[in-house]
Amino acid sequence: MKRIAVLGSTGSIGTQTLDVVKRLQNQFDVVGLCANRNRTLLEQQGAETQCTSLVVLDESVGGGPVRSGMNAAVDLVTSPEVDLVVVALAGVVALEPTIAAIRAGKSIALASKEVLVAAGEPVMNLVRELGTAMTPIDSEHSAVFQCLQGGRRPAKVILTASGGPFRGKKREQLAAIGPKEALNHPTWTMGGKITIDSATLMNKGLEIIEAKWLFGLDLEQVDFVVHPQSIVHSFIEFEDTSVLAQCGWPDMRLPIQYALTYPERVASGLNSWNPVESSNLTFEAPDLDTFISPVLARSALRSGGTMPAVLNAANEEVVKWFLSERCGFLQMADVIGQVMSLHIPEDPSLEAIVSADQWARETVRRSLKLE
């Protein structure tokens, strides 16, 4: 039995993780659950899994049997009762408990891409130094991870993007877009923040950065194409131009299960993909004139240092204010670009990353005249 703790258990990835664990209950024992602030669902999950180690990050909703705050989350993931930590918290808030889990020798199943976007260099240095097992949950990175099991280094990785709800639209058509339209994803069911990132294509920018760190690639080795059907989850190309792809229905439970059971493959109970049922697969180049977020992400990675942390923090802030209707859809990328232009990158120590993150958030709020 693997004993697991799930950070972000009440979110989209977290709830699907618990669904996978329920299907494979003879292999996993849930010993810890952590949510941001949804205490009601957290306690329901605790009752269903018979897990009593419950944590909420928001201290205003903690108390009684539910511990609260970042220190409680760190205590949870470093407990000797935990073997594997599923990191599915939305945002850079996942960074501190992830680092604590790595240092405590826990295996990591990583869904929170912001961890490697903001702190890819120090986190992966720590992973290599301590020999930590880290498996990706993101469908694109899981696809690359699966295709690389033969042990060969890729010459190129090509991620795929659904294109989001506004594929094919131009900037003038997006000026009046609000949260309701942006949250209407055509393919995937996800949490609010990642759904907005998909609508702006920022998720692909963040995934390019994550792939660079996860797989030890140069920036020029990672690209993406738009694939509306979301059947091919990524490609890898080798030096001889052979290309491998990982395919399947758009269901996050499959990459979650693989991350949990790796290196084994076990029956999932999910519907198997039939090529005849999706014979018209299409691919197209992204419109980077309309959707500039991936360009900003590449620029942040080229600048290096703390610039990716600034990109990530600024993006988290503008998405939050867009969802509360205090920032426009196109304004999000414009503000991120403005904040990046004001930042002088520093060496990415964890202290510098935390400081850059805070600075970026404050600068976004000033730019939006929110403080």
100-126 residue pLDDT tens: 999 999 999 999 999 999 999 999 999
And the tokens for 4? 């697991």
* pLDDT tens, residue by residue, 34-89: 999 999 999 999 999 999 999 999 999 999 999 999 999 999 999 999 999 999 99
| Domains in the chain: ranges and CATH | 2-137 (3.40.50.720), 142-251+279-290 (no CATH), 304-371 (1.10.1740.10)
Q: What is the pLDDT of residues 256-274, one digit of tens each?
A: 999 999 999 999 999 999 9
Spatial distance between the Cα atoms of 125 and 274, rounded to a whole number of angstroms:
40
CA distances from 147 to 16, 245, 323 (A): 23, 7, 36
Extended beta strands in 91-211, E state: 107-110, 134-136, 156-161
> DSSP 3-state assignment of 327?
coil
Band (pLDDT 50/70/90 cuts) for residue 25 is confident
CA distances from 98 to 26, 93, 119, 139, 275 (A): 26, 9, 11, 20, 38
Arithmetic mean of pLDDT, 217-228: 97
Cβ neighbours of residue 325 under 8 Å, at least 6 residues apart? 178, 179
Q: Which helix (H) or strand (E) holds 184?
A: none
- Give the confidence band of 371 by pLDDT, cuts at 50, 70, 90: low
**In 10 A of CB 71, how many CB atoms?**
13
Single pTM value for the model: 0.95
- Beta strands at 28-35 and 54-56: parallel, antiparallel or unpaired: parallel
pLDDT value for 191? 81
Closest listed residue to residue 206, CA positions, set 359, 355, 91, 287:
91
